Amino acid sequence: MTLGEIAQTRLSEIASCSATGAGVTRLPFTPEHRLALNHIRHWMTAAGLEVHMDAAATLVGRLEGPVGSKTLLIGSHQDSVPNGGRYDGIMGVLLPCLALEKLHSDGETLPFSVEILAFADEEGVRFPTALLGPRALAGTYDNSVLDLADQDGVTLRAAITEFGEDPPQLDRLARNPADILGYLETHIEQGPVLETHDAPLGVVTGICGIERNNVRFVGRTGHAGTVPMADRRDALVAASRLIASVADTAKATNTVRATVGAISVQPNAVNAIPETADFPLEVRSISDEARQDFTDQIRVLGAQIARDSGLAFEMEQTYVQPAVACDIDLSETLAGAVQHAGFPLITLPSGATHDASAMSDLCPIAMLFVRCKHGLSHRPDEHANAADMNAAVDAIAGFLASLAASGSTRNHHEPPL
């Protein structure tokens, strides 16, 4: 079997660590997450790594390099969206493990340490925040996110504690940038560009920025049959007007991608006028300025709609991750490895966000994209083929070998041997 075929088999196995339903549903700090750790621990051990879990429930596999050498961080996330695909995130944990297995079987050793990281929560689906793991390593996470709760009222702090980790230890996870060579993330493209170019791999130039705001309209409920239309303060009608404007404005400006993916209405009864309507507004753009302008526009429009219909309106930012550029040097090394492995070089921005977005506050980042069938992702039919994953393993192994040859792997504050 090729390493790509082994990858396909292992991703099929871990895909079973999922809640019931189509595709993969593996939210952080759940029984499915705990089951998945057994598979990831096995991959890391097979790659010769020492495995432990950190206080953010990131599973860490470390290959110790020479004393005084820096550490290359590689990783992605174990969690999925509900009814998602079997490649998003987890493929970026498995492929570097296979690349290390390949280097080991080729008798190669590395003059630096390597850590493979399986972050717990990148999607930010269960809690209205995300990227706790990479932000803890970068020393940029905000303690207040631990008080955010999921739809069952379980706080992030309680979920981590119940999962067996110790949130107060989060403050001790921050790494010294001087010790870190950089961060590499391998990820399914989640778009159609590589398929359009008939290329198995792509090197990412930058990652779009993202922000999420909770939007709330508060009106007045009443009997659906007895309250005259003119007297109504219908929160769902107001929300619908704003949501339609979000899509129309985003399409017209063409600088952002804006989505309302969920809504909750109370009292949520067919014969009662909606009193409250709550929804998350997500806005993404490679330009932070365009994203902020758009969000400001929607805030003004929402307040206007509320005033015109006698409702209350709130819009509160719950999550923001600025756009980030990938490191030129690291990306050139990655591009060289892609070409040396015999594949065409395609460079492209990422419309999806990633753990790498937060890791860029700690160290230089590079991202390797793997072709995505029909560009479909966040769906059960998300697919990457074995040959392309095999190409990615070759490129990652080549990237490691290039870094090893570059000699830039010693830690400045440690005297040479």
The residues of the shown chain that bind ligand HGY, judged by CB under 6 A, are 122-123, 352-353
* Partner that binds at residue 71, options Mn ion, ligand HGY, none, CB closer than 5 to 8 Å by kind: none
Is residue 79 within the footprint of Mn ion (CB under 5 A)?
A: no
- Least spacing, CB of residue 352 vs ligand HGY, in Å: 3
Residue number with the smallest Cβ distance to ligand HGY = 352
- Cβ(200)–Cβ(388) below 8 Å: yes
Q: Give strand ranges (E) for 106-161.
A: 113-119
Determine the Cα–Cα distance for residues 105 and 94; give it in Å rounded to an integer. Answer: 17
The size of the interface with Mn ion (CB under 5 A), counted in residues, is 2
- Sole window of 53-61, 89-97, 170-178, 203-211 interacting with Mn ion (rule: CB under 5 A): 89-97
Nearer to Mn ion, 130 or 403 (CB): 130
CB of 255 vs ligand HGY, minimal distance in Å: 17
Question: Out of 4, 75, 89, 206, which residue is the one contacting Mn ion (CB under 5 A)?
Answer: 89
Pairing of strands 50-53, 59-63: antiparallel
- If the CB atoms of residues 335 and 372 are measured against ligand HGY, the closer one turns out to be 372
d(CA 374, CA 203): 19
Alpha-helix runs per DSSP H in 254-385: 288-309, 328-340, 355-359
CB 311 within 8 A of CB 217: yes
If the CB atoms of residues 206 and 398 are measured against ligand HGY, the closer one turns out to be 206
CB atoms within 10 A of CB 329: 12
The entry of ligand HGY, Mn ion, none that residue 353 binds, CB within 5 to 8 Å by partner kind: ligand HGY
Of 115 and 121, which CB lies nearer to Mn ion in the complex structure? 121
Nearer to ligand HGY, 71 or 377 (CB): 377
User: Is residue 134 within the footprint of Mn ion (CB under 5 A)?
Assistant: no
Residue 32: contacted member of ligand HGY, Mn ion, none (CB under 5 to 8 Å, by partner type): none
**Interacting partner of 121 out of Mn ion, ligand HGY, none (Cβ under 5 to 8 A depending on kind):** none
Tokens representing 345?
A: 């070089």
CB of 245 to Mn ion, least distance (A): 26
Shortest distance, position 85 Cβ to ligand HGY, whole Å = 10
Minimal distance, residue 251 CB to Mn ion, in Å: 23
Say if CB 398 and CB 103 are below 8 A apart. Answer: no
Q: Which two tokens stand for residue 229?
A: 């239309």
Tell me how far CA of residue 222 lies from CA of 236, 263, 311, in angstroms.
13, 20, 14
Range list of H helices, 127-176: 132-138, 156-162
Instruction: Phi first, then psi: give them for residue 291, nearest 5 degrees.
Output: -65, -45
CB of 353 to ligand HGY, least distance (A): 4
Residue with tokens 């937060």: 358
Sign of the CA dihedral 385, 387, 390, 392?
Answer: negative
DSSP 142: -
CB 355, min distance to ligand HGY, A: 9
Minimum Å gap between C-beta 114 and ligand HGY is 24
| Residues 38-77, mask of contacts with Mn ion (x by CB under 5 A) | ----------------------------------------
Query: Tokens 């009193």 map to which residue?
Result: 275
184 or 352: CB nearest ligand HGY: 352
CB 311 within 8 A of CB 274: no
- Closer to ligand HGY by CB, 87 or 217: give it: 87
Report d(CA 348, CA 330) in Å as an integer: 15
Give the nearest distance from C-beta 84 to Mn ion in angstroms: 7
- Site membership for Mn ion, residue 88 (CB under 5 A): yes
Contacts of 164 (CB under 8 A, 6+ apart): 53, 57
Least spacing, CB of residue 409 vs Mn ion, in Å: 28
DSSP 202: E
Dihedral sign (CA 111, 112, 113, 115): negative
For Mn ion, which stretch binds (CB under 5 A), given 5-13, 14-22, 84-92, 128-136?
A: 84-92
Interacting residues with Mn ion (CB under 5 A)? 88-89
